[in-house]
Amino acid sequence: MSSLIRRRTFLKTGLAAGAAVGFGVRAHAAHTPLNPVWGKHKAVITFPPKEETFTELKAAGFNGVEVNLWHPKEGMTTLDEAAKVRELAAKMDMRVHTVLRGWAEFNSPDPDKVKTDKEFTIHTLQAAQAYGADAILLVGGRLDGDKFAMPEPDKWKVKFDPKNGHLLQVADGDNSAYKDYMQAHDHAYDSFIRHISDLIPVAEETGVVVGVENVWNNLFIGPDHFGHMIDAFKSPWVRAYFDCGNQVKYRIPPEQWIRTLGKRIVKLHIKDYKLDVPKEQEWPSLREGSVNWPNVAKALIEIGYDGWFTIEGPCGEGRAECSRRLDLILAGM
């Protein structure tokens, strides 16, 4: 997301946002997914679900949920509560496939903040195990875009040192104006490696992958650099949670990210983005933006992706319409 507030807005409005105005939307029909597994892996983001939540989603054609524990409405979920939701989901042939941990501040200069966020992430891994989920979504930190000079979205040209992941340049030509940003970025990179590495034993113990998301945090602008960071952990327990809409503004299409990241991708967020419009219009309903969804589906087939597709953000009016638009994407349309 472009800001903490923007992401909160998406998580609150979720499926209710947006209008079904019909851009790129076809008449109702049966759509066969390009990979038969995909049709069984449709999800949305919810707060810890109740029976009526599962009932509504199942009726609309969804198979599971990603539970938001970043800003829980009724306090942090206990492991017993999570286990009860797992039992309920199983009874209804549904699943909690991921837990959304959200933003941490592992690059904070405040050691107490880092400690608190790490403890929260450990609890999230344990809660995910209790839910029956196999991954969490984690954003390790962010850089405040108002504090640093950075290239315009279409001017980024990132080069990095493959030995340590540190930036060598962020744009063509003289990079002196970006010195402070590059130093802050390198500190964030080192902090992510150090603190997320500490989570690997817990991830292995719980059987829950740490899925690091490519979010709007002014870090890891290109897929090569993001992939290099994932590889630096040298562990199958740290992988990429890829969001199809988050990097479109940098003019690197999601299908390029998908092909570069390949098997590093553990889960997907399905969200659209519209280029060259006012900020209040840049997050349109699903299939009404600049993402080329047939190209995305083709790239996912090429890498053999067989994981979950979770809608985040505006997707049409009502659960059934959101499900239908996702069906079109899964069918390569």
For the ranges 65-79, 134-148, 266-280, the lowest mean pLDDT is seen at 65-79
Q: What is the pLDDT of residue 77?
A: 85
The DSSP element (H or E) to which 259 belongs, if any, is helix 254-261
Domain ranges for the chain: 4-144+192-330
> Any idea what the Cα angle at residue 212 is, between residues 207 and 218, rounded to 5°?
170
Write the CA distances from 120 to 124, 132, 159, 176, 207, integer angstroms: 6, 18, 33, 38, 17
Q: What is the pTM of this model?
A: 0.89
As a whole number of angstroms, the distance between CA 116 and CA 113 comes to 5
- The fold adopted by the segment(s) 4-144+192-330 is TIM Barrel (3.20.20)
Residue 105 CA: distances (Å) to CA of 150, 166, 203, 315: 21, 19, 19, 30
**Interhelix angle 223-232/254-261, nearest 10 degrees:** 30
What length is written for the chain? 333
Distance CA 79, CA 87 (A): 12
Mean pLDDT of 41-62: 96
Instruction: Look at residue 152 in the predicted model and tell me its pLDDT.
Output: 94
Which is higher by pLDDT, 27 or 205?
A: 205
Mean pLDDT computed over every residue of the chain: 90
